[in-house]
Structure 1
């Protein structure tokens, strides 16, 4: 059974009122010897203060809510949030993941239910979400404020395709029931790069990750097209469609993905893709969250190490 403040009071030989005030950070009201007796008794009993009590005193809990858009993620999501969880835990904070369903009301309910110290978003907040955060007096920060990460991804994909000799480019989104907060930025990066290189605007399509959708999309392209894909899932779906059509990769169709997933490297041929520094993303997210609650930490450089992972698909 977990120790209570009453147990600490008995061990220290002091009143519960005295122990409660010292455990709540009011050491200055008592002698150093009295405060030391309470802290020693708490250590001996492995006493953990009540999270509910702290929330009532402070008006907020020890949780940071990470607001995740309802979009597609690969295994990288866990690789980001595992170190983020550890980093926050070292600062006495817990992490709650909340998948946004597009309704501001869902954010309002979770803020009212757990009263987090801050909300960290993986995409810019909508005006409605900003209003809710203001009304709830909860700090909200997103990790995209100082970066143009998605546009950089699209530009890097297009630059690599052009360097491989492709003069006709396309961008293929992932379309399913979920939202697509990152796709427009990546598309724009491809568009801008084509314009800067004096190439025609890229053909833009969307697919679901299934056979018929991939086959239908591929039928819209001519041989010699280099396709920048929203992520590795899209690229792999198109790779299978190219094989069914009897075309060759990369002689007929070039493909480049995004996320550097393990599956991308076991394809035949291995998929050329874009990787990034997952540890840097986790550090940026953790430090952004800590800054949101008033801790004096420096945000790392917004350079998240985007790089081409060479395969044989373009």
Structure 2
């Protein structure tokens, strides 16, 4: 009788616990994805058989209607972060033998995003993934009520089961902490667009770390992610030797380095600079840029895993822990001597 009860109530998390793996690994086995070690696959299959686990009837019904196509809504921008997320999600979907139908929409237009979603629904996609770069669009996405899984890549101070993100907040705090520990007594912030979720979290991280350290700061100034805006802001700022600048992305930081050089301010001797993203150019500018690296490949994989899990077990999906960042220390803000 106990076995019958187990078979009726077992879910994907029970299988994961018994096999000693993550629920994402169980999902990969269920979907016959190739990136699972044979020994791990065998353990999962044994646990499935022991628990007599099978996806819920609703999930099975969804499976029978699959087109193996996922709709991807991206912002109409070539910025490094969103484009890297989209690229790596495409890689992960291809590895799982899914096609991706991508649509670009204006990044701050809620109506345009809804139109894009409606168009993908008419294509009978199995799920929709959105790369969100606007807080109003994020709120609209979280309020969606449609019949297929919807997953968003977006930062938020409030975790949500259908959000996948990199930990912008802790990454920002680490960048500010590094500048303070390197001996810069004031850390100012050149922020991204005010309605961009990543920029909001980086701004929050800067503010909280400065407050925790009781360090000096000046009001944040918002740029638009471009090197030109970083150059303009640094050219106009009232800078004093001994300050550090935490810049919300690397392209703006590259503009900052150019402006400081023109003003005769030495980096890192007079001003320390830390960026965010670790774009390919960051290691080759002068001086090389200290920055916060994001793992976009891992983010693409987790987005795909979340989609598959929502398809298999829509009622058991939990909040995802944001992926950690890594501080890459280079010449623009070396460690304290």
Quick one: higher RCO (CA 8 Å, sep 6+), 1 or 2? Answer: 2
Q: TM-score, normalised by structure 2?
A: 0.65
Q: Which residue of 2 aligns with 1:129?
A: 141
**CA RMSD after TM alignment:** 3.2
Match of 1:234, SS? helix
The 5 A counterparts of 1:1-314 are 58=65, 61-70=67-76, 73-74=79-80, 79-101=84-106, 102-115=108-121, 116-123=125-132, 126-131=138-143, 133-134=144-145, 136-143=146-153, 144=155, 145=159, 149-174=167-192, 180-207=196-223, 209=226, 214-218=231-235, 219-294=237-312, 302=321, 304-314=323-333
Match of 1:121, SS? strand
Instruction: Report if the CA contact (8 A) 2:172-2:205 is conserved.
Output: yes
Q: Aligned-pair distance for 1:72? A: 5.8
Change (3 A) 1:88 1:197: same
> 1:100-128 deviations in whole A, cap 9, x for unaligned?
42333323333333322222233476343
Change (3 A) 1:113 1:299: same
> 1:3-33 deviations in whole A, cap 9, x for unaligned?
xxxxxxxxxxxxxxxxxxxxxxxxxxxxxxx
Unaligned stretches of 5+ residues in structure 2: 1-61
Q: TM-score, normalised by structure 1?
A: 0.69
Q: Aligned-pair distance for 1:167? A: 1.5
Kindly name which structure, 1 or 2, has the bigger radius of gyration based on alpha carbons: 1
> 1:283-309 deviations in whole A, cap 9, x for unaligned?
211111212322699999735341111
> 1:39-86 deviations in whole A, cap 9, x for unaligned?
xxxxxxxxxxxxxxxx9x93x743222333456622x65554444324
Change (3 A) 1:275 1:171: same
In 2, the alpha carbon distance for the partners of 1:224 and 1:118 equals 51
Change (3 A) 1:269 1:100: same
- Alignment: residue pair count: 253
Instruction: Report if the CA contact (8 A) 1:169-1:203 is conserved.
Output: no
